[in-house]
Protein backbone atom coordinates (compact mmCIF):
# COMPACT_ATOMS: atom_id res chain seq x y z
CA UNK A 1 0.00 0.00 0.00
CA UNK A 2 1.24 3.51 -0.82
CA UNK A 3 0.25 6.90 0.55
CA UNK A 4 0.19 10.46 -0.84
CA UNK A 5 3.64 11.64 -1.95
CA UNK A 6 5.59 14.22 0.03
CA UNK A 7 5.43 17.82 -1.04
CA UNK A 8 8.54 19.64 -2.22
CA UNK A 9 9.53 22.62 -0.08
CA UNK A 10 8.51 25.65 -2.10
CA UNK A 11 9.02 29.33 -1.36
CA UNK A 12 5.26 29.94 -1.20
CA UNK A 13 5.09 27.71 1.87
CA UNK A 14 6.84 30.49 3.79
CA UNK A 15 4.08 33.02 3.02
CA UNK A 16 1.64 31.95 5.79
CA UNK A 17 4.27 32.05 8.57
CA UNK A 18 5.49 35.40 7.23
CA UNK A 19 1.94 36.69 7.54
CA UNK A 20 1.80 35.38 11.11
CA UNK A 21 5.01 37.24 11.95
CA UNK A 22 3.62 40.47 10.54
CA UNK A 23 0.43 39.98 12.58
CA UNK A 24 2.56 39.32 15.67
CA UNK A 25 4.41 42.60 15.22
CA UNK A 26 1.15 44.53 14.82
CA UNK A 27 -0.56 42.93 17.82
CA UNK A 28 2.51 43.50 19.99
CA UNK A 29 1.66 47.21 20.21
CA UNK A 30 -1.80 46.38 21.59
CA UNK A 31 -0.82 43.30 23.56
CA UNK A 32 -2.40 44.30 26.88
CA UNK A 33 -5.73 45.33 25.39
CA UNK A 34 -5.97 42.21 23.23
CA UNK A 35 -4.96 39.98 26.10
CA UNK A 36 -7.63 41.38 28.42
CA UNK A 37 -10.39 40.84 25.88
CA UNK A 38 -9.38 37.28 24.95
CA UNK A 39 -8.51 36.09 28.45
CA UNK A 40 -11.83 37.38 29.77
CA UNK A 41 -13.60 35.17 27.24
CA UNK A 42 -11.40 32.29 28.34
CA UNK A 43 -12.51 32.63 31.95
CA UNK A 44 -16.10 32.00 30.84
CA UNK A 45 -15.07 28.59 29.46
CA UNK A 46 -12.38 27.82 32.01
CA UNK A 47 -12.58 24.02 32.05
CA UNK A 48 -12.61 23.53 28.29
CA UNK A 49 -9.94 26.16 27.69
CA UNK A 50 -7.67 24.69 30.35
CA UNK A 51 -8.06 21.19 28.94
CA UNK A 52 -7.18 22.24 25.38
CA UNK A 53 -4.34 24.48 26.53
CA UNK A 54 -2.86 21.69 28.63
CA UNK A 55 -3.49 18.56 26.55
CA UNK A 56 -4.25 19.73 23.01
CA UNK A 57 -0.79 18.82 21.80
CA UNK A 58 -1.56 15.16 22.46
CA UNK A 59 -3.94 15.12 19.47
CA UNK A 60 -1.10 16.03 17.12
CA UNK A 61 1.41 13.77 18.85
CA UNK A 62 -0.96 10.80 18.62
CA UNK A 63 -1.66 11.56 14.95
CA UNK A 64 2.07 11.59 14.22
CA UNK A 65 2.50 8.36 16.18
CA UNK A 66 -0.28 6.60 14.28
CA UNK A 67 1.16 7.69 10.95
CA UNK A 68 4.58 6.51 12.07
CA UNK A 69 3.15 3.09 12.94
CA UNK A 70 1.40 2.88 9.57
CA UNK A 71 4.60 3.88 7.84
CA UNK A 72 6.57 1.29 9.76
CA UNK A 73 4.42 -1.56 8.51
CA UNK A 74 3.16 -0.21 5.21
CA UNK A 75 5.10 2.68 3.73
CA UNK A 76 8.70 3.26 4.75
CA UNK A 77 8.87 6.36 2.55
CA UNK A 78 6.21 8.08 4.65
CA UNK A 79 8.02 6.97 7.80
CA UNK A 80 11.20 8.49 6.43
CA UNK A 81 9.40 11.79 5.82
CA UNK A 82 8.01 11.73 9.35
CA UNK A 83 11.51 11.18 10.75
CA UNK A 84 12.70 14.26 8.85
CA UNK A 85 9.70 16.15 10.21
CA UNK A 86 10.41 14.90 13.72
CA UNK A 87 13.91 16.34 13.48
CA UNK A 88 12.26 19.63 12.56
CA UNK A 89 9.92 19.46 15.56
CA UNK A 90 12.83 18.90 17.95
CA UNK A 91 14.82 21.72 16.36
CA UNK A 92 11.84 24.06 16.58
CA UNK A 93 11.38 23.31 20.27
CA UNK A 94 15.06 23.85 21.06
CA UNK A 95 15.04 27.10 19.07
CA UNK A 96 12.03 28.29 21.05
CA UNK A 97 13.71 27.52 24.37
CA UNK A 98 16.85 29.40 23.36
CA UNK A 99 14.84 32.44 22.26
CA UNK A 100 12.89 32.40 25.53
CA UNK A 101 16.10 32.47 27.53
CA UNK A 102 17.44 35.35 25.46
CA UNK A 103 14.28 37.50 25.42
CA UNK A 104 12.95 36.68 28.92
CA UNK A 105 9.52 38.23 28.47
CA UNK A 106 7.29 37.90 31.52
CA UNK A 107 3.95 36.14 31.25
CA UNK A 108 0.91 38.41 30.96
CA UNK A 109 -0.66 36.71 33.97
CA UNK A 110 2.25 38.09 36.02
CA UNK A 111 2.21 41.56 34.51
CA UNK A 112 -1.54 42.22 34.30
CA UNK A 113 -3.84 42.03 37.30
CA UNK A 114 -6.80 40.05 35.99
CA UNK A 115 -8.47 36.67 36.45
CA UNK A 116 -7.26 33.87 34.17
CA UNK A 117 -8.54 30.40 33.35
CA UNK A 118 -5.20 28.74 34.17
CA UNK A 119 -2.78 29.16 37.04
CA UNK A 120 0.17 31.28 35.97
CA UNK A 121 3.37 29.28 35.32
CA UNK A 122 6.30 29.65 37.69
CA UNK A 123 8.68 32.58 37.54
CA UNK A 124 11.36 31.97 34.94
CA UNK A 125 8.96 30.21 32.58
CA UNK A 126 9.02 32.97 29.99
CA UNK A 127 6.28 34.05 27.64
CA UNK A 128 7.70 34.74 24.16
CA UNK A 129 7.41 32.71 22.04
CA UNK A 130 4.77 30.21 23.09
CA UNK A 131 6.33 26.73 23.23
CA UNK A 132 2.95 25.07 22.82
CA UNK A 133 2.32 27.07 19.66
CA UNK A 134 5.78 26.30 18.29
CA UNK A 135 5.40 22.57 18.87
CA UNK A 136 1.80 22.51 17.57
CA UNK A 137 2.76 24.25 14.33
CA UNK A 138 5.88 22.10 13.97
CA UNK A 139 3.90 18.88 14.40
CA UNK A 140 1.22 20.09 11.99
CA UNK A 141 3.79 20.97 9.34
CA UNK A 142 5.66 17.69 9.71
CA UNK A 143 2.42 15.71 9.43
CA UNK A 144 1.12 17.76 6.49
CA UNK A 145 4.34 17.29 4.53
CA UNK A 146 4.36 13.55 5.18
CA UNK A 147 0.65 13.04 4.55
CA UNK A 148 -0.78 16.09 2.71
CA UNK A 149 -4.40 14.95 3.03
CA UNK A 150 -4.25 15.67 6.77
CA UNK A 151 -3.25 19.33 6.34
CA UNK A 152 -6.87 20.45 6.62
CA UNK A 153 -7.08 18.76 10.00
CA UNK A 154 -3.73 19.41 11.65
CA UNK A 155 -3.33 23.13 10.90
CA UNK A 156 -6.70 24.14 12.42
CA UNK A 157 -5.91 21.98 15.45
CA UNK A 158 -2.58 23.79 15.86
CA UNK A 159 -4.35 27.15 15.60
CA UNK A 160 -6.90 26.15 18.26
CA UNK A 161 -4.12 25.01 20.60
CA UNK A 162 -2.31 28.31 20.12
CA UNK A 163 -5.43 30.40 20.72
CA UNK A 164 -6.26 28.37 23.83
CA UNK A 165 -3.00 29.55 25.40
CA UNK A 166 -4.18 33.16 25.14
CA UNK A 167 -7.69 32.26 26.29
CA UNK A 168 -6.11 30.50 29.28
CA UNK A 169 -4.34 33.73 30.21
CA UNK A 170 -0.77 32.45 30.03
CA UNK A 171 0.32 34.11 26.76
CA UNK A 172 -0.09 37.28 24.76
CA UNK A 173 -1.48 36.96 21.25
CA UNK A 174 1.86 37.90 19.69
CA UNK A 175 3.48 35.04 21.66
CA UNK A 176 1.35 32.43 19.93
CA UNK A 177 1.42 34.04 16.48
CA UNK A 178 5.22 34.13 16.63
CA UNK A 179 5.28 30.57 17.94
CA UNK A 180 3.15 29.28 15.09
CA UNK A 181 5.37 31.03 12.56
CA UNK A 182 8.55 29.71 14.16
CA UNK A 183 7.28 26.14 14.22
CA UNK A 184 6.37 26.15 10.53
CA UNK A 185 9.54 27.89 9.36
CA UNK A 186 11.95 25.70 11.31
CA UNK A 187 10.37 22.45 10.12
CA UNK A 188 10.37 23.62 6.50
CA UNK A 189 14.02 24.64 6.70
CA UNK A 190 15.14 21.46 8.49
CA UNK A 191 13.36 19.17 6.03
CA UNK A 192 14.74 21.14 3.08
CA UNK A 193 18.28 20.83 4.43
CA UNK A 194 17.95 17.13 5.22
CA UNK A 195 16.68 16.42 1.72
CA UNK A 196 19.84 17.95 0.31
CA UNK A 197 22.01 15.29 1.93
CA UNK A 198 22.95 12.27 -0.24
CA UNK A 199 19.97 9.93 -0.33
CA UNK A 200 17.65 12.49 1.21
CA UNK A 201 15.40 12.54 -1.85
CA UNK A 202 15.96 9.11 -3.35
CA UNK A 203 15.19 7.35 -0.09
CA UNK A 204 11.73 8.90 -0.04
CA UNK A 205 10.79 6.92 -3.15
CA UNK A 206 9.15 3.53 -3.07
CA UNK A 207 9.73 0.76 -5.56
CA UNK A 208 6.84 -1.50 -6.43
CA UNK A 209 7.58 -5.26 -6.37
CA UNK A 210 6.73 -5.65 -10.05
CA UNK A 211 9.48 -3.20 -11.01
CA UNK A 212 12.05 -5.88 -10.18
CA UNK A 213 13.32 -7.35 -13.47
CA UNK A 214 13.30 -10.78 -11.78
CA UNK A 215 9.67 -10.37 -10.75
CA UNK A 216 7.14 -12.49 -12.73
CA UNK A 217 5.80 -9.25 -14.21
CA UNK A 218 9.23 -8.83 -15.82
CA UNK A 219 9.79 -5.64 -17.77
CA UNK A 220 6.09 -4.89 -17.85
CA UNK A 221 6.14 -3.01 -14.60
CA UNK A 222 9.28 -1.03 -15.28
CA UNK A 223 7.56 2.15 -16.51
CA UNK A 224 5.63 2.46 -13.26
CA UNK A 225 8.45 1.27 -11.04
CA UNK A 226 8.64 4.20 -8.73
CA UNK A 227 6.11 6.17 -6.81
CA UNK A 228 7.32 9.71 -6.08
CA UNK A 229 7.50 10.53 -2.41
Q: What is the DSSP string of 98-143?
A: HHHHHH-PPPHHHHS-S--SSPPPPTT---SS-HHHHHHHHHHHHH
CB count in 10 Å sphere of residue 178: 27
The answer, as to whether pTM is greater than 0.85, is no
Please tell me the predicted confidence (pLDDT) of residue 198.
63
> What pLDDT, on the 0 to 100 scale, is given for residue 200?
56
- Tens-place pLDDT, residues 21-77: 999 999 999 999 999 999 999 999 989 999 999 999 999 999 999 998 888 887 778
What are 132-184's pLDDT values in tens digits? Answer: 999 999 999 999 999 899 999 999 999 999 999 999 999 999 999 999 999 99
Domain spanning 11-200: CATH 3.30.750.24: no
Amino acid sequence: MTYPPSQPIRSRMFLPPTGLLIAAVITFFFKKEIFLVISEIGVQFGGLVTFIASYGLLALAVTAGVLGAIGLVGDRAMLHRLVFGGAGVITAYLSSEIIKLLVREERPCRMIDTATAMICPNTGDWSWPSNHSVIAAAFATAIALAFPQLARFVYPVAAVIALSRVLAGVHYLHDVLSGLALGVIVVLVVIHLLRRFPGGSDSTRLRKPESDPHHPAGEAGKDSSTVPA
